[in-house]
């Protein structure tokens, strides 16, 4: 019914402190992350400008906003 997902095996690191405190962290290195959500919008607007960014129901259909159009609207407000 559902497609099998291949997830990374977890790697939990636990630092047991003398006072009973435990500090837990991941032993996995993360890929680089965006500094802000604007980076995502710029990336997807460049890579897939015609893909749907947001959609909302409107009567019998949908109002759709594409990545390229969303970036244009954001830039016009920021100007």
DSSP state of 17: -
Gyration radius (Cα) of the chain, Å: 21
pLDDT category at 5 given cuts 50, 70, 90 is: confident
59 Rama class: left (phi>0) / alpha (psi -120 to 50) / beta: left
Q: Rounded CA gap, 54 and 63, in Å?
A: 8
Arithmetic mean of pLDDT over the chain: 92
Instruction: Enumerate residues 6+ apart whose C-beta is below 8 A from 6.
Output: none
pLDDT at residue number 6: 84
Q: Using the predicted structure, report yes or no on whether residue 32 has a pLDDT greater than 90.
A: no
């Amino acid at each position: 019914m559902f497609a099998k997902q291949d997830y990374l095996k977890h790697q939990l690191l636990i630092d047991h402190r003398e006072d009973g405190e435990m500090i837990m962290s991941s032993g996995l290195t993360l890929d680089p992350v965006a500094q802000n959500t604007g980076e995502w919008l710029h990336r997807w607007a460049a890579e897939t400008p015609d893909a749907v960014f947001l959609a909302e129901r409107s009567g019998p259909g949908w109002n759709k906003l594409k990545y390229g159009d969303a970036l244009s609207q954001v830039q016009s407000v920021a100007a």
